[in-house]
Amino acid sequence: MQKNFNGKLVKEWVIERCIYLSGIASIIFVGLIFIFLAKEGFSLFKTVSVSDFLLGQKWYPISTPAQFGILPLIVGSLYVTLGATIIAVPIGIASAVYIAEVAPVKTREILKSGIEVLAAIPSVVLGFIGMMTLVPWVKNTFHLPTGLTAFSGALMLAFMAMPTIVSIAEDALNAVPKRYKEAALALGATRWQAIWRVIFPAASSGILAAVMLGIGRVIGETMAVMMITGNAARIPNSLFEPVRTLTATVAAEMGETVRGSDHYFALFAIGIVLFIITFFINLIADLAVHRKLK
């Protein structure tokens, strides 16, 4: 009896430790990744100043002397991200409202699974499809010398951000208690007034979180952007010119650098910049969600 009891205690202890270790592991891994990133990235600033790096207009990593100004890359990422956000956010929120509040039950189920499928398409596949269909279309429609532009990238990324935005915003709208809608309708509100004046404000923090996570997805996206934005590391004058994003730069050049060279460190420094940007976006999303819980 006594032995059996001890056995149970040991088993409990082992299980508890295992769960603890798995929990702590994710934190340790993130910590290690960040330390590595910081160690490699900050080495660049021994030779290049932070302002030359962030505000420099020329990204010539393999010329002599090499220049590591990432402003064109930041602007490229900004153009593509802003463009994708402007396209994806209104459409994404509108379709979330449609699915959550307007669509008949059957249509709702079909649309929801459709959106899940859209989220499951690998980005390289979307990039390839974009290259074959979207790029020529942009070239011909806007009479451009090339269809590989920031606009094409924004359009493509809008597709990728949409499933995130729609499904999270839809959850937020569904979480609004039905009694608010009932109250609004009983006061003589039309369905649209009930949505716009009551349900939407009640779900606003969840919708904001959806938008931020969608933007996070866009900024971090690499493959599709690399395939269709043209990869010209210069500051574009408009959305209809080729650009190169931060992510695409790292992905395209990492294979060709010499380990320990300035170029190599510069790519890691870009990684830090990306890390900081996504960190803040996730932070805003997180704050929005927690404000809702209060």
If binding is defined by CB under 8 A, does position 144 make contact with another protein?
no
Tokens of 37: 């990133």
Considering only residues 180 to 209 of the shown chain, the ones binding another protein according to CB under 8 A are: 180, 182-190, 193, 197-198, 201-202
Q: How far is the CB of 290 from another protein (least distance, A)?
A: 16
Q: How far is the CB of 187 from another protein (least distance, A)?
A: 5
Q: Is 114 in the site for another protein (CB under 8 A)?
A: no
Q: How far is the CB of 193 from another protein (least distance, A)?
A: 5
DSSP-based helix, strand, coil % in the chain, nearest 5:
80, 0, 20
> Does the footprint of another protein cover residue 177 (CB under 8 A)?
yes
- Classified as helix, coil or strand, 122 is coil
- Smallest gap, in angstroms, from Cβ of residue 292 to another protein? 10
CA dist 293 and 290 (Å) reads 5
Taken as a whole, the chain contains a residue count of 294
CB nearer to another protein: pick between 203 and 250: 203
Count the residues of the shown chain that bind another protein, applying the rule CB under 8 A. 17
255-294 residues near another protein, rule: CB under 8 A: none
Q: Interacting stretch for another protein, rule CB under 8 A, among 49-57, 178-186, 220-228, 278-286?
A: 178-186
The Cβ of residue 186 has, within 10 Å, a number of other Cβ atoms equal to 10
CA–CA gap between residue 151 and residue 228 (Å, rounded): 9
Q: Could you give the angle at which helices 150-174 and 71-97 cross, rounded to 10 degrees?
A: 40
Secondary structure of 74-102 in the HEC alphabet? HHHHHHHHHHHHHHHHHHHHHHHHHHHHH
What residues have CB less than 8 Å from 139, skipping those under 6 apart? 145, 146, 147
Tell me the closest approach of the beta carbon of residue 184 to another protein, in angstroms. Answer: 7
Question: Rounded to the nearest whole angstrom, what is the least distance from the CB of residue 189 to another protein in the complex?
Answer: 5
Using CB under 8 A, list all residues that contact another protein: 177, 179-180, 182-190, 193, 197-198, 201-202
